[in-house]
Chains A and B, each alone.
Chain A
Amino acid sequence: MSLPTSRHGYSHSSNGSANGHASYYNREDSWAISPHETRFHPKYRKSAHARRRLIIKLVLIGVAIFGFALIVSPSIRFAIFSAVGLGYTFYKDIPGVEYHDLSLYQGTANGWTRGERILFLSPLRDAEAHLPMFFSHLRNLTYPHHLIDLAFLVGESKDNTMKLLHELLNKQQSDPDHDQWFGEITVIEKDFGSTIGQDFSNRHGFAAQGPRRKLMARARNWLLNATLKPHHSWVYWRDADVETAPTTILEDLMRHNKHVIVPNVWRPLPDWLGNEQPYDLNSWQESETGLELAAKLGEDDVIVEGYAEYATWRPHLAYLRDPRGDPDVEMELDGVGGVSILAKALVFRAGAHFPAFSFEKHAETEGFGKMCRRMQFTVIGLPHYTIWHLYEPSLEDLKHMKEMEEQRIAHEKEELAKAKEKAKEKARLEEGYDIKKDKDTWDKDQKEIIDAALKEKQKEKSDKMGAMPAKSNEEEHDPTGRKIRKENLKGGREGPIAHVDEAGVGVITTEEDEKKGHIIGHENGRVQDSKAKSGKTKERDMKASEPKGKGVKAKENKNPVQPGKNKEAVFAKN
């Protein structure tokens, strides 16, 4: 026989006879050394000899009876065979017949040393994005892969889940490293005709919870019932969207030797949401408030944990986590979450399942926890043993993130514009400090102004000789609505500035101020009034390159905001 017989069987036969002999000889030896009994020695020896023969005879008879019983009664034979785990040999030669003694598949604390098979179950739906990550987790599992049977249920996926799944499975099973091969692999396709979307906020909206959980429960049950075989000792449920989990998770959970056991499930978050957060709120202990609430609800209502609508005040496994706590600490639970459940197969064989109806006001995994408790199984959670669920932003988060992104882009743009402005400013300043150029410009301007003044003078002289033209009261509107006197319009728009020889030449006023007789600046050190500065500067800057016609005005105002520079230029000229 290739299989070792049971320790049970061994221990009884070997221990029994060993003890018997030991006690037998010890007794006789103590008898023999007693000085008062020496006269019995010969007889003793003789009788011991005879007795030994008798014992042998009796043992032989016993064995004969035993053997006879084995031959005559197949049921005794079967009883003995099955007691040592060999009952299956009875059906070995019958085609199409399988025999399983379920006692052998109860699950023990160190199942990997006994070759206990795990059924690894994953319901998938629109999981294409998570599959590569999921398979990398599978590859890293330290539990002997050939003892893990994989089974997937693929629901109505709109994406490429099915194709990718097969691709990855084929790759896995053709790995050159044989230790990477998994046991039996089953992919089940079944559509349940759901209408509820699978994205985060759809999934987790309060109203969708009841029907959604019931549907998920059905999917889980179908997957389980289709793939659970008598020879499975353990069943492990795992979601595809787990981001980080210990590679030894199967052994770690198994070691506790509980009927149902779940780790703590958290998820990482972006900085602006606080880095991390408890994810799975379906693992909890029942509370008085919870029971009271349950009593008030209708038969088909389902309490869902983690929603303000149902405040149950239950102690949640997730909130009890201490990052530095002992990962072996256990906590009794009444409801469990489905992200990662290790359960003994006997739990499911006994009939526990994921209720697709309201069982004690709960459905799916929470209902499963409740049902297990009802069936007197141990349901345990590990508060300090944590696995990390993938962070999927909700619609709100996405909106927020979009806003943040927009803000960021706007900010960047602003920064860029600022930098450009600065660079421009700098360039302009540098340009402005080009003294030679300024001087040339100034010289040219001066010459023009002087020419113009001279011309004016000549004209004046000739006018004095003739009649005065009636122009003093004519007024015109410039585009900004400012009234400008046509009279004396010789310089820039701001006012007459080129009347070099006249009284008040070089004195700058605005129109109003002029009426009042105020002087607000001087030709070479003028501070422009704000309107002119903001409204016109740019326009004029652009026009500055136009060389002809109004060249005087334009050039005059080329650098209007730098009075200091002009002064300097003047000084330089002088």
Chain B
Amino acid sequence: MGAPRRSSPMRLLFALCGLLLFLWWMIQPSSSPRTLNINLPDASQPTPTAALVPPKKAPKIVNISMNNLTATANPLKNQEKLLILTPIARFYDQYWQNLLNLNYPRNLIELGFITPKTHGGNQATVQLQEALRKVQNGAKKNRFAKVTILRQDFSMPVGQSEKERHAMKAQKDRRASMARARNSLVFTTLNPSISWVLWLDSDIIETPPTLFQDLAKHNKPLIVPNCFQKYKDAGTWKERPYDFNSWQDSETALNLGKKMKDDEILLEGYAEMPTYRALMAYQRDEKGDKHVEMQLDGVGGTALLVKAEIHRDGAMFPTFPFYHLIETEGFAKMAKRLGYQPYGLPNYLVYHYNE
């Protein structure tokens, strides 16, 4: 210690550090929950839509008949509405371009996005804003009917890489939180006019432009194409299977499930837990018919077409082990419990981004 003049630069430094810390805190996402326990925040902001005084004019009474809502093999003919849902943690230009290339009329398409409370999520939101501004301010016929962007009310658990030792546990938390994001998205955006829901991950960068029509043509309650990834090997582009969550169940897996505790999950792609399920990713026949169907017991969520009524009946992405399954795999199981059979198209490909 010494004279104040000597200590003062230190204090100033502290002050500056404080300011920077404050800024850092402002930008950083809250870092609490590692598990799915929902800690209720003492949210103190008034809700933006809250009009604390009654409106000047009474809102209208909306009457909707859902008896005539259809989801058929020819959606365009019936002018059926499509809701495309994307949990978006990173914004890829290719994803957006691919989305814009879909040739179903945009006035029949609604979009829904949900972003995590992370720096990446914020960035994605901003990029999305730019992209949307261009489209929605453009020609009327090119505008999407409606776009909803949500920001999660819970935090994603920490990344998997930090917890190598508990990879499976981390996987469970990550997928549970992913499931919760998906549920939050679908159950707040599924308005009564929607016939179809297309789940399209933000890292799906290449699909046929007729993706929706092609999948709808099969007229299945739940249908999933095969998700591959393109990579460069020795200068040439090659393809490899990417999504292993679409499968047919096996005896081994079922027996494994029987031995497990209620809160444990069966995961695909872990050597320590071989399930011997028939994975759709490996069923592809390059020369085969693109529209060959196969029945599935678990589905992946990278690209997934669902008739809206399945969600309306209650089928959701379990955030807890449901028959030892979670997220999209659990969703397929729940749809089956509700009496809907999921299908897959092993020869119909969509492509995942390659880091």
Q: Which chain A residues have a beta carbon within 8 Å of chain B's beta carbons?
A: 3-4, 6-8, 12-13, 16, 20, 28, 31, 40, 43-44, 47-48, 51, 54-55, 58-59, 62, 66, 69, 74-80, 82-88, 90-91, 93-106, 108, 114-117, 144-147, 166, 169-170, 173-174, 178-179, 181-191, 217-218, 221-222, 224-231, 233, 257, 346, 348-351, 353-358, 374-377
Is the Cβ of A230 less than 8 Å from the Cβ of B26? no
Is the Cβ of A348 less than 8 Å from the Cβ of B22? no
Alpha-carbon gap, A217 to B180, bound state (A): 21
B98 at the interface (CB under 8 A from A): no
Alpha-carbon gap, A6 to B46, bound state (A): 8
When the two chains form the complex, which single residue of B36, B42, B126, B151 contacts A101, counting CB atoms closer than 8 Å? Answer: B151
Say whether, besides A51-B12, A84-B45, A91-B149, A353 and B314 are in contact (CB < 8 Å). yes
Is the Cβ of B188 less than 8 Å from the Cβ of A7? no
Is the Cβ of A79 less than 8 Å from the Cβ of B119? yes
Q: Which residues of B contact A28 (CB under 8 A)?
A: 4
| Smallest CB gap from A299: residue in B | B337
Alpha-carbon gap, A356 to B336, bound state (A): 12
Q: Which of B12-64 contact A (CB under 8 A)?
A: 12, 15-16, 18-20, 22-23, 26-27, 36-38, 40-55, 58-64
Say whether, besides A94-B133, A173-B58, A102 and B47 are in contact (CB < 8 Å). no
Q: Which residues of B contact A58 (CB under 8 A)?
A: 12, 15-16
When the two chains form the complex, which single residue of A16, A77, A103, A178 contacts B153, counting CB atoms closer than 8 Å? Answer: A103
Is the Cβ of A103 less than 8 Å from the Cβ of B8? no
B319 at the interface (CB under 8 A from A): yes
Q: Size of chain B's interface in residues, with CB distance under 8 A?
A: 88
Is the Cβ of A94 less than 8 Å from the Cβ of B153? no
Alpha-carbon gap, A537 to B233, bound state (A): 125
| Smallest CB gap from A172: residue in B | B58
Alpha-carbon gap, A83 to B27, bound state (A): 8
Say whether, besides A173-B59, A181-B58, A103 and B15 are in contact (CB < 8 Å). no
Is the Cβ of B61 less than 8 Å from the Cβ of A106? no
B350 at the interface (CB under 8 A from A): no
B255 at the interface (CB under 8 A from A): no
Is the Cβ of A351 less than 8 Å from the Cβ of B148? no
Is the Cβ of A75 less than 8 Å from the Cβ of B50? no
Say whether, besides A96-B145, A349-B188, A351-B317, A103 and B4 are in contact (CB < 8 Å). no
- Could you tell me the distance in whole angstroms from the C-beta of A513 to the nearest C-beta in chain B? 91
Per-residue A-contact encoding for B91-125, CB less than 8 Å = 1, 0 else = 00000000000000000000000000101001101
Say whether, besides A350-B183, A356-B314, A189 and B65 are in contact (CB < 8 Å). yes
Say whether, besides A225-B312, A226-B192, A48 and B148 are in contact (CB < 8 Å). no
Say whether, besides A74-B126, A356-B314, A187 and B147 are in contact (CB < 8 Å). no
When the two chains form the complex, which single residue of B26, B126, B145, B320 contacts A75, counting CB atoms closer than 8 Å? Answer: B126
- Could you tell me the distance in whole angstroms from the C-beta of A4 to the nearest C-beta in chain B? 7
- Could you tell me the distance in whole angstroms from the C-beta of A359 to the nearest C-beta in chain B? 8
Q: Which residues of B contact A99 (CB under 8 A)?
A: 148-151
When the two chains form the complex, which single residue of A40, A166, A228 contacts B188, counting CB atoms closer than 8 Å? Answer: A228
Is the Cβ of B50 less than 8 Å from the Cβ of A147? yes
Instruction: Determine chain A's interface SS by DSSP, over half rule.
Output: helix
Say whether, besides A43-B5, A47-B5, A114-B47, A185 and B61 are in contact (CB < 8 Å). yes
Alpha-carbon gap, A95 to B107, bound state (A): 13
Is the Cβ of A76 less than 8 Å from the Cβ of B27? yes
B78 at the interface (CB under 8 A from A): no
| Smallest CB gap from B125: residue in A | A78
Which 4 A-B residue pairs are closest in the complex by CB-CB distance? A115-B50, A351-B183, A102-B153, A85-B45
Q: Which residues of A contact B164 (CB under 8 A)?
A: none
Alpha-carbon gap, A116 to B47, bound state (A): 7
Can you name 18 A-B pairs with beta carbons within 8 Å? A44-B5, A58-B16, A62-B20, A69-B23, A82-B151, A96-B145, A96-B146, A98-B147, A103-B41, A116-B47, A181-B58, A184-B59, A186-B62, A186-B64, A225-B312, A226-B64, A228-B188, A230-B188
Say whether, besides A85-B45, A102-B150, A114-B46, A96 and B136 are in contact (CB < 8 Å). yes
- Could you tell me the distance in whole angstroms from the C-beta of A107 to the nearest C-beta in chain B? 8
B318 at the interface (CB under 8 A from A): yes
Alpha-carbon gap, A66 to B143, bound state (A): 36
- Could you tell me the distance in whole angstroms from the C-beta of B42 to the nearest C-beta in chain A? 7
Q: Which residues of B contact A144 (CB under 8 A)?
A: 54
Say whether, besides A62-B16, A96-B144, A114-B50, A349 and B187 are in contact (CB < 8 Å). yes
Say whether, besides A62-B19, A88-B48, A375-B319, A221 and B312 are in contact (CB < 8 Å). yes
Is the Cβ of A190 less than 8 Å from the Cβ of B58? no
Is the Cβ of B27 less than 8 Å from the Cβ of A80? yes
When the two chains form the complex, which single residue of A82, A181, A374 contacts B54, counting CB atoms closer than 8 Å? Answer: A181
Is the Cβ of A173 less than 8 Å from the Cβ of B61? yes
